[in-house]
Amino acid sequence: MSMVDKLSVASLAILLLAGCPPKQPAGSPVDQPVDAGVDQAAGEDGASSPVAEPPEQRVQGLLSEAEEAVQAREPARLQPILEEMQGLARQFPDVAALHYDIGVVYEALNDRLNARKAYLRATDLDPSLAKAWLNLGALAEESGDLERAWRAYEAGRSHAPDDPDLVVGQIGVLRKQGRTEEAIALARQALGQNANNIGAYNNLGLVYLDQGNVDLANFIYQKALNSIEGADSNAYLHCNLGRVYKAMDKEYLAQQEFDRALQLDPELVAAMLFLGDARLDNHDWEGAAELLERARDLEPDNPAILVNLGIAYRGLGRFEEAAALYKRALELDPGNPDPYLNLAVLQGDHMRAYDAALASVDAYLAAGGTRTELAAQWRADLEKSREKYERELERKRRRAEREKQREEEARLAAEHEARQAAIRAAAEAALGQACPAEGCPELTVCNRAGVCAEPGSPGTAGMGDACSSDDDCVAGLGCGADAVCVEQAAPGAAEETEAAPGAAEETEAA
């Protein structure tokens, strides 16, 4: 499939799978499609003049290079390709297909405005170029201008009434506008004209699915698969049938169809989203993240992908990344405030940032969120959770303080025990050793013999301690008459005391 066909189908996917998250709208409005009824290359007599054709081989080569650049996600390679195509367009200004191809490259560069201009130029030159009208309509749908999209498809059908994709585009617009009965009627009319129009089947089934008529939607898809040759190879049919099975609570069958759709088209983002959603429901966070990361690589600015990937990251504990994805989704689609609620869940239930969670709920309401009762209930729950969390924090703080006090007491006790052990060791080492000048260590005393000994052992009784003999007392003390250690008299003191009676005789003689 050429790049031209591939991008045309990619644009058409928006119509076939409306109801799956759409691409992000472009900012510039669509120019009014030109209903050019006269070929500008015609001569004065109305006969068509020959149109010089660019070298087809070179144009196809440029398109192949552009396709490779898009697949490799290297947009810088597209600019020189575009410039060469524009050079060819200046040489061959009246070739509609060349202007169409330029529009395709502009779309690959995300330059919607110039893409529209190129498609409009192509339709000026060849009003029957259906794929140019188709892409104009798809661009209008992306911008949210369904009326302009309808006019583009209608203008295309007026020049290419047998093109099946243009009527599919109109069916999709009617469905998006909620005009389901008109969409059904137009789909049936298209199938009456072409019973093999798979796009009409796709949209008709989706209309019935929108109406809640899942049995009829299932019938439509089964009929298409069973009656149209090659329909089993249509990824969109399988993806939409998967949606029907999902609505019927047949999850296993739904997953089979989504898997089949991805086998047929590995880049079908809608199927990735539905499969990712199923994995999220099953709390298969890793599986969902792997699938949604692939989808994000294909459509990095799709808010639905970012929100679901954020949920997967939340389940994996990658909270900061999840918050960044929610915020990016809000930037891309400010009109949808729902990601604020995802932020509130993340911040409140998982990050315990209750003030931030309450602010997210308030931001949801301020941005026009309509689920006011839910928001009010969440706010009340968050405030209760915050109070409970604060009480829990206070209990933890007190427990921590008590634990810290116990640890400090244990530390002091350990230090005391270490000091006591050191004292005991020093005392044990000093036993039987000569008493040092500074005295024996704690738990020992210098005994009568001048060596360090245990208190209470012979020769260690101090002043006033009980004794039975002088040997019980420390050096310098003796056992007194009261059986307690007292200071011993100096050796000359007894002689002086014994001489005292002679003094009395001298007194009497006098």
How does pLDDT run across 133-184, given as a tens digit for each residue? 999 999 999 888 999 999 999 999 999 998 999 999 999 999 999 999 999 9
* Model confidence at 32: pLDDT above 60: no
> Distance (Å, rounded) from C-alpha 85 to C-alpha 132?
17
- H or E element: which one contains 105? helix 96-108
pLDDT the model gives residue 497: 47
pLDDT the model gives residue 115: 94
For 74-88, 115-129, 138-152, 299-313, which range has the lowest pLDDT when averaged over its residues? 74-88
> Distance (Å, rounded) from C-alpha 393 to C-alpha 398?
9
For 162-171, 236-245, 258-267, 495-504, which range has the lowest pLDDT when averaged over its residues? 495-504
Question: How confident is the model over 427-449, as pLDDT tens digits?
Answer: 999 999 999 999 999 999 999 99
pLDDT the model gives residue 415: 95
Pick left, alpha or beta for residue 246 (phi over 0 → left; psi -120 to 50 → alpha; otherwise beta).
alpha
Give a yes or no: residue 77 inside a domain: yes
**Amino acid identity, position 31:** D
Give a yes or no: residue 354 inside a domain: no
Handedness of CA 107, 113, 116, 118 (dihedral sign): negative
- Inter-helix orientation angle 146-159/130-142, to 10°: 170
Q: 132: pLDDT confidence band, cut at 50, 70 and 90?
A: very high
Our CA angle for 390, 364, 140, nearest 5°, is: 155
CATH number at residue 111: 1.25.40.10
> Distance (Å, rounded) from C-alpha 334 to C-alpha 366?
12
pLDDT the model gives residue 27: 27
Most confident of 60-74, 91-105, 484-498: 91-105
- Backbone dihedral angles phi then psi of residue 373, each to the nearest 5 degrees: -65, -40
Q: Name the residue with higher pLDDT: 493 or 267.
A: 267
pLDDT the model gives residue 47: 43
- H or E element: which one contains 201? helix 198-210
Q: 40: pLDDT confidence band, cut at 50, 70 and 90?
A: very low
* Model confidence at 10: pLDDT above 80: no
> Distance (Å, rounded) from C-alpha 91 to C-alpha 283?
59
Give a yes or no: residue 110 inside a domain: yes
> Distance (Å, rounded) from C-alpha 281 to C-alpha 293?
17
Give a yes or no: residue 32 inside a domain: yes
Q: Which long-range contacts (CB under 8 A, 24 or more apart) does 138-141 make?
A: 138/11, 138/12, 138/14, 138/15, 138/169, 139/11, 139/26, 139/30, 139/107, 139/112, 139/115, 140/30, 141/14, 141/15, 141/22, 141/172, 141/173, 141/176
Give a yes or no: residue 162 inside a domain: yes
* Model confidence at 23: pLDDT above 60: no
CA 102 to chain centre: 37
Q: Name the residue with higher pLDDT: 125 or 62.
A: 125
> Distance (Å, rounded) from C-alpha 358 to C-alpha 380?
9
CB 248 within 8 A of CB 218: yes
* Model confidence at 496: pLDDT above 90: no
If you average pLDDT over every residue of the chain, what do you get?
Answer: 84
Give a yes or no: residue 276 inside a domain: no
> Distance (Å, rounded) from C-alpha 182 to C-alpha 171?
8
* Model confidence at 493: pLDDT above 50: no
Give the list of residues 6+ apart from residue 79 with CB closer than 8 angstroms, or none.
109
- H or E element: which one contains 487? strand 485-487
> Distance (Å, rounded) from C-alpha 124 to C-alpha 118?
10
Average pLDDT, integer, range 191-220: 93
Give the list of residues 6+ apart from residue 249 with CB closer than 8 angstroms, or none.
none
Average pLDDT, integer, range 215-223: 95
CB 259 within 8 A of CB 275: yes
In percent, the amount of the chain with pLDDT more than 70 equals 85
pLDDT the model gives residue 52: 58
Give a yes or no: residue 330 inside a domain: no
**Amino acid identity, position 292:** L
* Model confidence at 14: pLDDT above 80: no
Distances 478 to 78, 462, 491 between C-alpha atoms, Å: 116, 9, 13
> Distance (Å, rounded) from C-alpha 496 to C-alpha 502?
11
Domain extent, residue 14, equals 1-41+52-177
Question: How confident is the model over 343-390, as pLDDT tens digits?
Answer: 999 999 999 999 999 999 999 999 999 999 999 999 999 999 888 888
Average pLDDT, integer, range 265-274: 95
In 3D space, the residue among 426, 434, 443 whose CA is nearest the CA of residue 475 turns out to be 434
In percent, the amount of the chain with pLDDT more than 90 equals 70
In 3D space, the residue among 132, 153, 139, 123 whose CA is nearest the CA of residue 30 turns out to be 139
> Distance (Å, rounded) from C-alpha 30 to C-alpha 184?
27
> Distance (Å, rounded) from C-alpha 475 to C-alpha 258?
105
Our CA angle for 507, 508, 510, nearest 5°, is: 70
pLDDT the model gives residue 289: 97
Cα atoms in the Cβ-side hemisphere of radius 13 Å centred on 466: 1
Q: 45: pLDDT confidence band, cut at 50, 70 and 90?
A: very low
* Model confidence at 89: pLDDT above 80: yes
- Backbone dihedral angles phi then psi of residue 36, each to the nearest 5 degrees: -80, 115
- Give the number of domains in the chain: 1
At 315 the three-state DSSP class reads: helix
Q: 53: pLDDT confidence band, cut at 50, 70 and 90?
A: low
> Distance (Å, rounded) from C-alpha 176 to C-alpha 203?
11
* Model confidence at 24: pLDDT above 80: no
pLDDT the model gives residue 422: 95
Average pLDDT, integer, range 262-275: 95
Give a yes or no: residue 274 inside a domain: no
pLDDT the model gives residue 501: 53
* Model confidence at 295: pLDDT above 80: yes
Q: 13: pLDDT confidence band, cut at 50, 70 and 90?
A: very low
* Model confidence at 484: pLDDT above 70: yes
Average pLDDT, integer, range 20-39: 29
